[in-house]
Structure 1
Amino acid sequence: MLAKHPILVVALGLVGAVHFLTGNPNPTSPPALLPEEIVEQRAQGVKGDRELQEQTKEASVASEAVVAQKSGVYITSAYLAALGDSTRYFEAILNARRARDSRGVHPDGKSYGPSGLTPIAVRELLRKIPDCTSLSVKKVLLTPEENLKLGYLYFLDLVHRFRNVETAVVAYHIGPTKVSLLLRKGKPIPRRYLDTVKKFPKQ
Protein backbone atom coordinates (compact mmCIF):
# COMPACT_ATOMS: atom_id res chain seq x y z
CA MET A 1 0.00 0.00 0.00
CA LEU A 2 2.72 2.49 1.02
CA ALA A 3 4.77 1.65 -2.09
CA LYS A 4 2.02 3.23 -4.18
CA HIS A 5 2.35 6.51 -2.30
CA PRO A 6 6.03 7.54 -2.11
CA ILE A 7 5.17 10.92 -0.62
CA LEU A 8 3.44 9.20 2.29
CA VAL A 9 6.50 6.98 2.80
CA VAL A 10 8.77 10.04 2.94
CA ALA A 11 6.42 11.83 5.33
CA LEU A 12 6.21 8.83 7.68
CA GLY A 13 9.98 8.45 7.52
CA LEU A 14 10.48 12.06 8.59
CA VAL A 15 8.02 11.61 11.47
CA GLY A 16 10.02 8.59 12.61
CA ALA A 17 13.23 10.56 12.37
CA VAL A 18 11.83 13.35 14.56
CA HIS A 19 10.73 10.75 17.10
CA PHE A 20 14.27 9.33 17.18
CA LEU A 21 16.09 12.65 17.33
CA THR A 22 13.92 14.05 20.14
CA GLY A 23 14.77 11.07 22.30
CA ASN A 24 11.30 9.63 22.82
CA PRO A 25 11.71 6.32 24.68
CA ASN A 26 10.78 3.05 23.06
CA PRO A 27 7.97 1.42 25.06
CA THR A 28 9.49 -2.01 24.41
CA SER A 29 12.76 -2.49 26.27
CA PRO A 30 15.36 -4.11 23.97
CA PRO A 31 17.53 -6.99 25.23
CA ALA A 32 20.86 -6.10 26.80
CA LEU A 33 23.67 -5.63 24.27
CA LEU A 34 27.32 -6.55 24.49
CA PRO A 35 29.83 -3.63 24.38
CA GLU A 36 30.80 -4.45 20.78
CA GLU A 37 27.16 -4.53 19.74
CA ILE A 38 26.53 -1.16 21.40
CA VAL A 39 29.43 0.41 19.48
CA GLU A 40 28.19 -1.10 16.21
CA GLN A 41 24.63 0.05 16.86
CA ARG A 42 25.75 3.60 17.59
CA ALA A 43 27.90 3.67 14.45
CA GLN A 44 24.94 2.56 12.35
CA GLY A 45 22.76 5.19 14.03
CA VAL A 46 25.21 7.96 13.16
CA LYS A 47 25.43 6.75 9.56
CA GLY A 48 21.64 6.58 9.27
CA ASP A 49 21.30 10.04 10.75
CA ARG A 50 23.74 11.48 8.21
CA GLU A 51 21.93 9.78 5.33
CA LEU A 52 18.61 11.14 6.60
CA GLN A 53 20.06 14.64 6.81
CA GLU A 54 21.30 14.40 3.21
CA GLN A 55 17.93 13.13 1.96
CA THR A 56 16.08 15.83 3.87
CA LYS A 57 18.44 18.48 2.51
CA GLU A 58 17.81 17.33 -1.08
CA ALA A 59 14.05 17.20 -0.53
CA SER A 60 14.00 20.76 0.79
CA VAL A 61 16.04 22.23 -2.06
CA ALA A 62 12.98 22.60 -4.27
CA SER A 63 11.26 24.95 -1.87
CA GLU A 64 14.45 26.85 -1.00
CA ALA A 65 15.27 27.50 -4.66
CA VAL A 66 12.02 29.25 -5.54
CA VAL A 67 12.93 32.60 -7.06
CA ALA A 68 10.52 35.41 -7.93
CA GLN A 69 10.97 37.09 -11.30
CA LYS A 70 8.87 39.52 -13.29
CA SER A 71 8.18 36.76 -15.79
CA GLY A 72 6.92 34.42 -13.05
CA VAL A 73 8.31 32.04 -10.47
CA TYR A 74 10.72 29.29 -11.35
CA ILE A 75 13.11 26.78 -9.82
CA THR A 76 16.76 27.48 -10.65
CA SER A 77 18.95 24.84 -12.24
CA ALA A 78 22.01 25.78 -10.19
CA TYR A 79 20.42 24.50 -6.98
CA LEU A 80 18.55 21.54 -8.43
CA ALA A 81 20.95 20.00 -10.96
CA ALA A 82 22.04 17.36 -8.46
CA LEU A 83 18.51 16.02 -8.04
CA GLY A 84 18.54 14.19 -11.36
CA ASP A 85 16.38 13.90 -14.45
CA SER A 86 13.08 14.33 -12.60
CA THR A 87 13.94 17.82 -11.42
CA ARG A 88 15.47 18.87 -14.74
CA TYR A 89 12.41 17.73 -16.66
CA PHE A 90 10.14 19.53 -14.20
CA GLU A 91 12.16 22.70 -14.78
CA ALA A 92 11.69 22.23 -18.53
CA ILE A 93 7.94 21.91 -17.97
CA LEU A 94 8.00 25.25 -16.15
CA ASN A 95 10.07 26.81 -18.92
CA ALA A 96 7.61 25.60 -21.56
CA ARG A 97 4.75 27.11 -19.60
CA ARG A 98 6.52 30.44 -19.08
CA ALA A 99 7.30 30.63 -22.78
CA ARG A 100 3.54 30.50 -23.38
CA ASP A 101 3.96 27.87 -26.04
CA SER A 102 0.46 26.90 -27.15
CA ARG A 103 1.41 23.26 -26.75
CA GLY A 104 2.50 23.94 -23.16
CA VAL A 105 -1.02 24.82 -22.03
CA HIS A 106 -3.12 22.13 -20.40
CA PRO A 107 -5.56 20.65 -22.94
CA ASP A 108 -8.68 21.64 -20.98
CA GLY A 109 -7.45 25.20 -20.36
CA LYS A 110 -8.13 24.86 -16.63
CA SER A 111 -4.62 24.64 -15.21
CA TYR A 112 -3.40 27.19 -12.70
CA GLY A 113 -0.21 28.79 -11.46
CA PRO A 114 3.41 28.46 -12.56
CA SER A 115 3.34 24.65 -12.49
CA GLY A 116 0.01 24.35 -14.31
CA LEU A 117 -1.75 22.29 -11.65
CA THR A 118 -5.39 21.34 -12.04
CA PRO A 119 -7.89 21.09 -9.16
CA ILE A 120 -8.17 17.33 -9.74
CA ALA A 121 -4.40 16.86 -9.47
CA VAL A 122 -4.23 18.92 -6.26
CA ARG A 123 -7.06 16.98 -4.59
CA GLU A 124 -5.43 13.68 -5.51
CA LEU A 125 -2.07 14.80 -4.13
CA LEU A 126 -3.40 16.27 -0.87
CA ARG A 127 -5.08 12.95 -0.08
CA LYS A 128 -1.64 11.32 -0.07
CA ILE A 129 0.09 13.82 2.21
CA PRO A 130 -0.50 13.59 5.97
CA ASP A 131 -1.21 16.74 8.00
CA CYS A 132 -2.11 18.91 5.00
CA THR A 133 -5.57 19.85 6.21
CA SER A 134 -4.51 23.50 6.40
CA LEU A 135 -3.89 23.58 2.66
CA SER A 136 -6.92 24.24 0.51
CA VAL A 137 -7.12 23.47 -3.19
CA LYS A 138 -7.65 27.16 -3.91
CA LYS A 139 -4.56 28.18 -1.91
CA VAL A 140 -2.36 25.66 -3.72
CA LEU A 141 -3.62 26.76 -7.12
CA LEU A 142 -3.31 30.51 -6.55
CA THR A 143 -0.23 30.81 -4.30
CA PRO A 144 2.90 30.59 -6.51
CA GLU A 145 5.16 29.04 -3.87
CA GLU A 146 2.62 26.40 -2.81
CA ASN A 147 1.76 25.79 -6.45
CA LEU A 148 5.39 25.03 -7.28
CA LYS A 149 5.98 22.79 -4.28
CA LEU A 150 2.87 20.72 -4.89
CA GLY A 151 3.48 20.68 -8.65
CA TYR A 152 6.93 19.22 -8.10
CA LEU A 153 5.63 16.61 -5.63
CA TYR A 154 2.87 15.67 -8.08
CA PHE A 155 5.42 15.21 -10.86
CA LEU A 156 7.61 13.01 -8.61
CA ASP A 157 4.54 10.93 -7.79
CA LEU A 158 3.92 10.42 -11.51
CA VAL A 159 7.55 9.43 -12.08
CA HIS A 160 7.22 6.82 -9.34
CA ARG A 161 3.92 5.59 -10.75
CA PHE A 162 5.04 5.15 -14.36
CA ARG A 163 8.72 4.37 -13.67
CA ASN A 164 9.69 6.61 -16.56
CA VAL A 165 10.32 10.35 -16.45
CA GLU A 166 9.20 11.02 -20.05
CA THR A 167 5.97 9.11 -19.56
CA ALA A 168 5.46 11.17 -16.40
CA VAL A 169 5.85 14.38 -18.45
CA VAL A 170 3.02 13.28 -20.74
CA ALA A 171 0.88 12.22 -17.77
CA TYR A 172 1.49 15.59 -16.13
CA HIS A 173 0.06 17.23 -19.26
CA ILE A 174 -2.88 15.04 -20.31
CA GLY A 175 -3.53 13.24 -17.03
CA PRO A 176 -2.36 9.89 -15.62
CA THR A 177 -5.71 8.20 -16.29
CA LYS A 178 -5.46 8.78 -20.04
CA VAL A 179 -1.83 7.63 -20.11
CA SER A 180 -2.63 4.46 -18.15
CA LEU A 181 -5.47 3.66 -20.55
CA LEU A 182 -3.22 4.08 -23.59
CA LEU A 183 -0.54 1.89 -22.06
CA ARG A 184 -3.03 -0.85 -21.15
CA LYS A 185 -4.29 -0.88 -24.75
CA GLY A 186 -0.74 -1.02 -26.07
CA LYS A 187 -1.12 2.30 -27.85
CA PRO A 188 1.66 4.91 -28.09
CA ILE A 189 1.39 7.94 -25.86
CA PRO A 190 1.28 11.36 -27.57
CA ARG A 191 4.73 12.90 -27.86
CA ARG A 192 4.01 16.40 -29.14
CA TYR A 193 4.05 18.03 -25.70
CA LEU A 194 7.01 15.89 -24.60
CA ASP A 195 8.98 17.00 -27.67
CA THR A 196 8.17 20.63 -26.81
CA VAL A 197 9.43 20.19 -23.25
CA LYS A 198 12.61 18.46 -24.42
CA LYS A 199 13.53 21.50 -26.54
CA PHE A 200 14.15 23.52 -23.40
CA PRO A 201 17.63 23.19 -21.88
CA LYS A 202 17.94 20.94 -18.84
CA GLN A 203 21.23 21.89 -17.21
Structure 2
Amino acid sequence: MVEKVSLDFLDREPYKEWNEMLESSLSDHRYRHVVRVTRTAIALAHYYGEDEKKSAQAALLHDMAKKNEKRYFNRLLELGYVNEEDWKPSPYFHAYLGGLAVRYLLGVEDMDIIRAIQSHTLGSDHMSRLDKIIFLADLIEPGRDFPTLPALQEAALQGLNEGVLKAMDNTISYLLKSDSSINPQTVVARNALLKEMKEAKKG
Protein backbone atom coordinates (compact mmCIF):
# COMPACT_ATOMS: atom_id res chain seq x y z
CA MET A 1 0.00 0.00 0.00
CA VAL A 2 2.72 2.46 1.00
CA GLU A 3 4.99 1.66 -1.96
CA LYS A 4 2.29 2.68 -4.43
CA VAL A 5 1.98 6.21 -3.05
CA SER A 6 3.18 8.78 -5.58
CA LEU A 7 5.49 11.57 -4.48
CA ASP A 8 5.19 13.52 -7.74
CA PHE A 9 3.89 16.47 -5.74
CA LEU A 10 7.44 17.04 -4.45
CA ASP A 11 8.18 18.64 -7.81
CA ARG A 12 5.64 21.40 -7.06
CA GLU A 13 5.89 24.35 -4.69
CA PRO A 14 5.93 24.69 -1.75
CA TYR A 15 6.85 21.01 -1.48
CA LYS A 16 9.85 21.32 -3.80
CA GLU A 17 11.45 24.05 -1.68
CA TRP A 18 10.71 22.19 1.55
CA ASN A 19 12.05 18.93 0.17
CA GLU A 20 15.27 20.53 -1.00
CA MET A 21 15.70 22.20 2.39
CA LEU A 22 15.18 18.89 4.20
CA GLU A 23 17.46 16.97 1.88
CA SER A 24 20.28 19.44 2.54
CA SER A 25 19.77 19.87 6.30
CA LEU A 26 18.98 16.31 7.44
CA SER A 27 21.23 13.27 7.44
CA ASP A 28 20.63 10.76 4.64
CA HIS A 29 19.17 8.34 7.18
CA ARG A 30 16.77 10.94 8.58
CA TYR A 31 15.76 12.20 5.15
CA ARG A 32 14.91 8.69 3.93
CA HIS A 33 12.84 8.23 7.09
CA VAL A 34 10.94 11.44 6.34
CA VAL A 35 10.15 10.25 2.80
CA ARG A 36 8.87 6.91 4.11
CA VAL A 37 6.77 8.62 6.79
CA THR A 38 5.28 10.88 4.12
CA ARG A 39 4.32 7.89 1.96
CA THR A 40 2.86 6.09 4.99
CA ALA A 41 0.90 9.12 6.16
CA ILE A 42 -0.63 9.67 2.72
CA ALA A 43 -1.59 5.99 2.54
CA LEU A 44 -3.20 6.13 6.00
CA ALA A 45 -4.97 9.38 5.14
CA HIS A 46 -6.43 7.80 2.01
CA TYR A 47 -7.43 4.69 3.97
CA TYR A 48 -9.15 6.66 6.74
CA GLY A 49 -10.57 9.52 4.69
CA GLU A 50 -8.31 12.25 6.05
CA ASP A 51 -7.05 15.26 4.09
CA GLU A 52 -4.13 13.87 2.09
CA LYS A 53 -2.61 17.30 1.43
CA LYS A 54 -2.45 18.14 5.12
CA SER A 55 -1.12 14.68 5.89
CA ALA A 56 1.62 15.07 3.28
CA GLN A 57 2.66 18.48 4.59
CA ALA A 58 2.71 17.44 8.25
CA ALA A 59 4.58 14.23 7.50
CA LEU A 60 7.15 15.89 5.23
CA LEU A 61 7.93 18.53 7.86
CA HIS A 62 7.53 16.46 11.05
CA ASP A 63 11.29 16.03 11.66
CA MET A 64 12.39 19.38 10.27
CA ALA A 65 14.11 20.32 13.54
CA LYS A 66 15.57 16.87 14.32
CA LYS A 67 19.30 17.28 15.09
CA ASN A 68 18.93 20.94 14.09
CA GLU A 69 17.35 22.12 17.32
CA LYS A 70 19.92 24.76 18.22
CA ARG A 71 19.91 26.26 14.75
CA TYR A 72 16.16 26.71 14.62
CA PHE A 73 15.88 27.76 18.25
CA ASN A 74 18.43 30.55 17.73
CA ARG A 75 16.59 31.76 14.63
CA LEU A 76 13.25 31.77 16.47
CA LEU A 77 14.94 33.52 19.40
CA GLU A 78 16.25 36.25 17.09
CA LEU A 79 12.75 36.78 15.73
CA GLY A 80 11.20 36.90 19.21
CA TYR A 81 9.08 33.75 18.99
CA VAL A 82 10.85 31.97 21.87
CA ASN A 83 12.73 33.03 25.00
CA GLU A 84 16.02 31.76 26.42
CA GLU A 85 14.16 29.76 29.08
CA ASP A 86 12.27 27.87 26.38
CA TRP A 87 15.44 25.93 25.50
CA LYS A 88 14.68 22.53 27.02
CA PRO A 89 16.44 19.90 24.91
CA SER A 90 15.16 16.33 25.09
CA PRO A 91 14.47 13.46 22.68
CA TYR A 92 11.06 15.09 22.11
CA PHE A 93 12.06 18.75 21.85
CA HIS A 94 12.37 18.64 18.06
CA ALA A 95 8.62 18.06 17.73
CA TYR A 96 7.65 21.16 19.72
CA LEU A 97 10.37 23.25 18.11
CA GLY A 98 9.60 21.90 14.65
CA GLY A 99 6.03 23.08 14.92
CA LEU A 100 7.22 26.60 15.73
CA ALA A 101 9.78 26.55 12.91
CA VAL A 102 7.20 25.37 10.39
CA ARG A 103 4.80 28.10 11.48
CA TYR A 104 7.12 31.06 11.85
CA LEU A 105 9.98 30.26 9.46
CA LEU A 106 8.12 28.49 6.65
CA GLY A 107 4.85 30.41 7.03
CA VAL A 108 2.55 27.41 7.40
CA GLU A 109 -0.53 28.82 9.13
CA ASP A 110 -2.69 25.69 9.34
CA MET A 111 -2.80 24.86 13.05
CA ASP A 112 -3.95 21.31 12.28
CA ILE A 113 -0.59 20.71 10.64
CA ILE A 114 1.34 22.46 13.42
CA ARG A 115 -0.38 20.41 16.13
CA ALA A 116 0.20 17.16 14.25
CA ILE A 117 3.92 17.92 14.05
CA GLN A 118 4.13 18.87 17.71
CA SER A 119 2.32 15.75 18.92
CA HIS A 120 4.02 13.19 16.68
CA THR A 121 6.41 11.88 19.35
CA LEU A 122 4.40 11.82 22.57
CA GLY A 123 0.81 12.19 21.43
CA SER A 124 -1.56 14.58 23.17
CA ASP A 125 -4.99 14.67 24.71
CA HIS A 126 -7.85 15.13 22.22
CA MET A 127 -5.78 13.98 19.24
CA SER A 128 -7.34 14.71 15.88
CA ARG A 129 -7.43 12.16 13.09
CA LEU A 130 -4.52 13.97 11.45
CA ASP A 131 -2.55 13.90 14.73
CA LYS A 132 -3.07 10.15 14.96
CA ILE A 133 -2.05 9.54 11.36
CA ILE A 134 1.26 11.40 11.73
CA PHE A 135 1.95 9.80 15.11
CA LEU A 136 1.31 6.34 13.70
CA ALA A 137 3.08 6.89 10.37
CA ASP A 138 6.23 7.92 12.20
CA LEU A 139 6.25 4.64 14.13
CA ILE A 140 5.21 2.14 11.47
CA GLU A 141 6.96 3.39 8.32
CA PRO A 142 8.48 0.37 6.56
CA GLY A 143 12.08 1.34 7.28
CA ARG A 144 11.67 0.81 11.01
CA ASP A 145 13.28 -2.30 12.43
CA PHE A 146 11.86 -3.79 15.61
CA PRO A 147 10.15 -7.14 16.34
CA THR A 148 6.62 -5.82 16.83
CA LEU A 149 6.56 -3.69 13.66
CA PRO A 150 4.44 -6.14 11.56
CA ALA A 151 1.84 -6.35 14.34
CA LEU A 152 1.66 -2.55 14.58
CA GLN A 153 1.33 -2.20 10.82
CA GLU A 154 -1.51 -4.71 10.84
CA ALA A 155 -3.21 -2.96 13.77
CA ALA A 156 -3.00 0.35 11.88
CA LEU A 157 -5.35 -1.10 9.26
CA GLN A 158 -7.80 -2.53 11.78
CA GLY A 159 -8.70 0.88 13.16
CA LEU A 160 -6.93 4.20 13.60
CA ASN A 161 -7.55 4.41 17.33
CA GLU A 162 -6.64 0.77 17.78
CA GLY A 163 -3.42 1.29 15.87
CA VAL A 164 -2.42 4.35 17.87
CA LEU A 165 -3.24 2.65 21.16
CA LYS A 166 -1.17 -0.39 20.23
CA ALA A 167 1.70 1.88 19.19
CA MET A 168 1.54 3.75 22.49
CA ASP A 169 1.44 0.47 24.43
CA ASN A 170 4.41 -0.79 22.43
CA THR A 171 6.43 2.33 23.26
CA ILE A 172 5.52 2.20 26.95
CA SER A 173 6.39 -1.50 27.12
CA TYR A 174 9.78 -0.84 25.53
CA LEU A 175 10.51 1.99 27.97
CA LEU A 176 9.56 -0.19 30.93
CA LYS A 177 11.75 -3.06 29.74
CA SER A 178 14.69 -0.74 29.18
CA ASP A 179 14.20 0.89 32.60
CA SER A 180 13.65 4.27 30.96
CA SER A 181 11.43 7.09 32.15
CA ILE A 182 8.01 7.54 30.56
CA ASN A 183 7.04 11.06 29.61
CA PRO A 184 3.78 11.99 31.40
CA GLN A 185 2.37 13.41 28.17
CA THR A 186 2.26 9.94 26.65
CA VAL A 187 0.28 8.67 29.64
CA VAL A 188 -2.12 11.60 29.30
CA ALA A 189 -2.48 10.91 25.57
CA ARG A 190 -3.13 7.21 26.14
CA ASN A 191 -5.73 7.87 28.83
CA ALA A 192 -7.50 10.39 26.60
CA LEU A 193 -7.53 7.91 23.73
CA LEU A 194 -8.96 5.16 25.93
CA LYS A 195 -11.70 7.53 27.09
CA GLU A 196 -12.49 8.45 23.48
CA MET A 197 -12.70 4.81 22.46
CA LYS A 198 -14.97 3.91 25.39
CA GLU A 199 -17.29 6.83 24.64
CA ALA A 200 -17.43 5.81 20.98
CA LYS A 201 -18.55 2.32 21.99
CA LYS A 202 -21.32 3.76 24.17
CA GLY A 203 -22.49 5.99 21.35
Tell me the TM-score range normalised by the shorter chain.
Answer: under 0.3
TM-score normalized by the length of structure 2: 0.27
